[in-house]
Amino acid sequence: MPARTALLLVALVLAGVPWCVSRPHYDPSFGIHFRLPSFCNGTECKVLPDGTVQLTAAKNKMGAFESKSYFQYGVFEVNMKLPSGYSGGLIPCIYLISGENLDYRDVHDEMDFEFLGGSDPSSIRVHTNVIAGGYTNVEQYKFAFDPSAAFHTYTMVYAPNWLVWKIDGRPIRITWRESGKPFPSLPMKIMGSIWDASFWLPLKSDYSKGNVTVKFRRFNLREACRVENLKVEPACAFRNDARTGAWLTRPTRNDIARAKRHRTLYLFKEYGGWQKVV
Q: What average pLDDT score do residues 143-158 get?
A: 97
User: Which structural domain range is residue 138 located in?
Assistant: 17-276
pLDDT for res 104: 59
pLDDT for res 9: 32
pLDDT for res 222: 80
pLDDT band at 241, cuts 50/70/90? low
**In a domain? residue 148:** yes
**In a domain? residue 113:** yes
For the chain, what is the mean pLDDT?
A: 84
**In a domain? residue 8:** no
**In a domain? residue 4:** no
**In a domain? residue 262:** yes
**In a domain? residue 229:** yes
CATH of the domain at 29: 2.60.120.200
**In a domain? residue 3:** no
Neighbouring CB atoms inside 10 A of 43's CB total 11
Residue 169 burial (10 A CB sphere; 0-12, 13-18, 19+): exposed
**In a domain? residue 2:** no
Give the strands of the sheet with 70-71, arranged side by side: 20-21, 224-227, 70-71
Q: Which residue has the higher pLDDT, 91 or 99?
A: 91
Give the residue numbers annotated as catalytic, written as ranges: 110, 114
Q: Which residue has the higher pLDDT, 256 or 20?
A: 256
Record the pTM. 0.86
212-222/53-57 β-pairing: antiparallel
Number of domains in the chain: 1
pLDDT for res 13: 33
